[in-house]
Amino acid sequence: MLSSTIGVLGHFCEPAEALAAAAKVRDAGWKHFDFLTPFPIHGMEDAMGQKRSWIPWATGVLAICGILFAQGLQNYVMVYDWPMNFGGKPHASWPAFIPITFEAMVFWAALGSAALAIIAGKKDNIPQPPPMLIQTGATVDRFVLWISATDPNWDAKKAVAFVKSLGANGVRLVDAEGGTHE
Protein backbone atom coordinates (compact mmCIF):
# COMPACT_ATOMS: atom_id res chain seq x y z
CA MET A 1 0.00 0.00 0.00
CA LEU A 2 2.03 2.92 1.28
CA SER A 3 5.82 2.93 1.10
CA SER A 4 6.12 4.51 4.55
CA THR A 5 3.97 1.85 6.23
CA ILE A 6 5.80 0.37 9.22
CA GLY A 7 3.23 -2.18 10.32
CA VAL A 8 -0.30 -3.14 11.18
CA LEU A 9 -1.99 -3.26 14.55
CA GLY A 10 -5.25 -4.53 15.94
CA HIS A 11 -6.49 -4.98 19.48
CA PHE A 12 -8.26 -7.60 21.54
CA CYS A 13 -10.29 -7.02 24.70
CA GLU A 14 -9.59 -10.27 26.57
CA PRO A 15 -6.27 -11.93 27.48
CA ALA A 16 -7.51 -15.35 26.29
CA GLU A 17 -8.26 -13.88 22.85
CA ALA A 18 -4.77 -12.37 22.71
CA LEU A 19 -3.15 -15.65 23.74
CA ALA A 20 -5.04 -17.60 21.06
CA ALA A 21 -4.23 -14.93 18.45
CA ALA A 22 -0.51 -15.05 19.32
CA ALA A 23 -0.41 -18.80 18.66
CA LYS A 24 -2.22 -18.32 15.32
CA VAL A 25 0.18 -15.54 14.27
CA ARG A 26 3.16 -17.75 15.13
CA ASP A 27 1.66 -20.75 13.31
CA ALA A 28 0.95 -18.61 10.23
CA GLY A 29 4.70 -17.97 9.92
CA TRP A 30 4.95 -14.32 10.96
CA LYS A 31 8.31 -13.58 12.60
CA HIS A 32 8.32 -9.85 13.36
CA PHE A 33 5.33 -9.43 15.64
CA ASP A 34 4.67 -8.47 19.23
CA PHE A 35 1.82 -8.16 21.70
CA LEU A 36 1.55 -4.97 23.75
CA THR A 37 -0.39 -5.76 26.93
CA PRO A 38 -1.38 -3.86 30.08
CA PHE A 39 -0.15 -6.73 32.26
CA PRO A 40 1.83 -9.96 31.77
CA ILE A 41 -0.13 -12.87 30.31
CA HIS A 42 0.93 -16.32 31.49
CA GLY A 43 1.94 -18.44 28.50
CA MET A 44 2.37 -15.56 26.03
CA GLU A 45 6.07 -16.36 25.44
CA ASP A 46 5.20 -19.93 24.44
CA ALA A 47 2.30 -18.77 22.28
CA MET A 48 4.60 -16.33 20.47
CA GLY A 49 7.30 -18.99 20.04
CA GLN A 50 9.93 -17.19 22.10
CA LYS A 51 12.81 -19.12 23.63
CA ARG A 52 13.69 -18.98 27.29
CA SER A 53 15.95 -16.07 28.18
CA TRP A 54 19.63 -16.61 28.96
CA ILE A 55 19.70 -13.57 31.29
CA PRO A 56 18.95 -15.61 34.49
CA TRP A 57 21.95 -17.83 33.79
CA ALA A 58 24.15 -14.78 33.26
CA THR A 59 22.81 -13.30 36.52
CA GLY A 60 23.76 -16.51 38.36
CA VAL A 61 27.29 -16.42 36.94
CA LEU A 62 27.63 -12.75 37.87
CA ALA A 63 26.40 -13.49 41.41
CA ILE A 64 29.05 -16.22 41.79
CA CYS A 65 31.68 -13.79 40.47
CA GLY A 66 30.55 -11.25 43.10
CA ILE A 67 30.88 -13.87 45.85
CA LEU A 68 34.35 -14.90 44.67
CA PHE A 69 35.44 -11.27 44.38
CA ALA A 70 34.23 -10.35 47.88
CA GLN A 71 35.65 -13.46 49.55
CA GLY A 72 38.93 -13.10 47.68
CA LEU A 73 39.35 -9.42 48.53
CA GLN A 74 38.41 -9.82 52.19
CA ASN A 75 40.62 -12.86 52.67
CA TYR A 76 43.53 -11.13 50.95
CA VAL A 77 43.19 -7.98 53.07
CA MET A 78 42.42 -9.63 56.42
CA VAL A 79 44.78 -12.62 56.16
CA TYR A 80 47.77 -11.54 54.07
CA ASP A 81 47.92 -7.79 53.54
CA TRP A 82 46.70 -6.32 56.86
CA PRO A 83 46.06 -9.04 59.45
CA MET A 84 44.59 -7.73 62.70
CA ASN A 85 43.78 -9.53 65.90
CA PHE A 86 40.15 -8.92 66.90
CA GLY A 87 39.70 -10.49 70.33
CA GLY A 88 41.66 -13.61 69.46
CA LYS A 89 39.50 -14.52 66.49
CA PRO A 90 41.12 -16.09 63.43
CA HIS A 91 42.18 -13.79 60.59
CA ALA A 92 40.13 -15.74 58.02
CA SER A 93 36.80 -15.52 59.84
CA TRP A 94 34.36 -16.17 57.00
CA PRO A 95 31.19 -15.54 59.06
CA ALA A 96 32.34 -11.95 59.49
CA PHE A 97 32.68 -11.68 55.71
CA ILE A 98 29.07 -12.71 54.94
CA PRO A 99 27.46 -9.21 54.90
CA ILE A 100 30.01 -7.79 52.48
CA THR A 101 29.86 -10.97 50.39
CA PHE A 102 26.08 -10.70 50.11
CA GLU A 103 26.25 -7.05 49.13
CA ALA A 104 28.93 -7.72 46.49
CA MET A 105 26.88 -10.61 45.11
CA VAL A 106 23.80 -8.43 44.74
CA PHE A 107 25.82 -5.54 43.30
CA TRP A 108 27.56 -7.64 40.65
CA ALA A 109 24.41 -9.56 39.71
CA ALA A 110 22.17 -6.48 39.50
CA LEU A 111 24.46 -4.13 37.61
CA GLY A 112 25.86 -6.84 35.38
CA SER A 113 22.40 -8.13 34.48
CA ALA A 114 21.15 -4.64 33.76
CA ALA A 115 24.13 -3.96 31.48
CA LEU A 116 23.70 -7.29 29.70
CA ALA A 117 19.96 -6.74 29.24
CA ILE A 118 20.60 -3.31 27.74
CA ILE A 119 23.26 -4.65 25.39
CA ALA A 120 21.16 -7.69 24.41
CA GLY A 121 18.07 -5.54 23.91
CA LYS A 122 19.83 -3.34 21.38
CA LYS A 123 19.95 -6.16 18.83
CA ASP A 124 16.15 -6.17 18.55
CA ASN A 125 15.62 -4.08 15.45
CA ILE A 126 11.93 -4.78 14.85
CA PRO A 127 10.23 -1.39 14.65
CA GLN A 128 7.47 -0.84 17.18
CA PRO A 129 4.50 1.47 16.70
CA PRO A 130 5.32 5.08 17.58
CA PRO A 131 4.02 5.11 21.19
CA MET A 132 3.52 8.82 21.63
CA LEU A 133 1.75 9.30 18.29
CA ILE A 134 -0.70 6.38 18.36
CA GLN A 135 -3.19 5.77 21.13
CA THR A 136 -3.33 1.97 21.27
CA GLY A 137 -4.77 1.50 24.77
CA ALA A 138 -2.16 -1.19 25.43
CA THR A 139 -1.21 0.30 28.77
CA VAL A 140 -4.79 0.57 29.97
CA ASP A 141 -7.23 -2.10 28.85
CA ARG A 142 -6.34 -3.54 25.44
CA PHE A 143 -4.14 -6.32 24.15
CA VAL A 144 -2.56 -4.98 20.95
CA LEU A 145 -1.14 -7.18 18.20
CA TRP A 146 1.62 -5.51 16.21
CA ILE A 147 3.02 -7.00 12.99
CA SER A 148 5.99 -5.09 11.60
CA ALA A 149 6.49 -4.33 7.92
CA THR A 150 10.03 -5.73 8.27
CA ASP A 151 8.59 -9.27 8.39
CA PRO A 152 9.74 -11.44 5.47
CA ASN A 153 6.08 -12.35 4.73
CA TRP A 154 4.94 -8.71 4.67
CA ASP A 155 2.19 -7.68 2.30
CA ALA A 156 0.05 -4.86 3.67
CA LYS A 157 -3.28 -6.12 2.31
CA LYS A 158 -2.64 -9.69 3.43
CA ALA A 159 -1.48 -8.54 6.86
CA VAL A 160 -4.60 -6.45 7.41
CA ALA A 161 -6.83 -9.30 6.23
CA PHE A 162 -5.00 -11.76 8.48
CA VAL A 163 -5.29 -9.59 11.58
CA LYS A 164 -8.98 -9.04 10.87
CA SER A 165 -9.44 -12.81 10.47
CA LEU A 166 -8.16 -13.25 14.02
CA GLY A 167 -11.10 -11.21 15.29
CA ALA A 168 -9.07 -8.13 16.17
CA ASN A 169 -10.80 -4.78 16.60
CA GLY A 170 -9.52 -1.46 15.27
CA VAL A 171 -7.23 -3.01 12.65
CA ARG A 172 -5.19 -0.33 10.93
CA LEU A 173 -1.92 0.27 9.10
CA VAL A 174 0.59 2.57 10.75
CA ASP A 175 2.99 4.82 8.83
CA ALA A 176 6.34 6.16 9.99
CA GLU A 177 4.86 9.49 11.09
CA GLY A 178 2.32 7.80 13.34
CA GLY A 179 -0.63 8.19 11.01
CA THR A 180 -3.03 5.30 10.68
CA HIS A 181 -4.96 4.01 7.68
CA GLU A 182 -7.82 1.54 7.47
Q: State the pLDDT at residue 73.
A: 94
Q: What is the pLDDT of residue 52?
A: 85
Report the range of poorest mean pLDDT among 5-19, 76-90, 108-122, 149-163: 76-90
The 3-state DSSP class for residue 142 equals: coil
- The ranges assigned to domains in the chain are 5-52+126-181, 55-121
> How many CB atoms within 10 Å of residue 7?
26
pLDDT(14) > 80: yes
pTM for the model stands at 0.68
What local confidence, expressed as pLDDT, does residue 1 receive?
44
Q: What is the mean pLDDT of the chain?
A: 86
Query: Given pLDDT bands bounded at 50, 70 and 90, which one contains residue 16?
Result: very high
Span 24-82, pLDDT tens digits? 999 999 988 888 888 989 999 889 888 888 889 999 999 999 999 999 999 999 888 88
CB 5 within 8 A of CB 156: yes
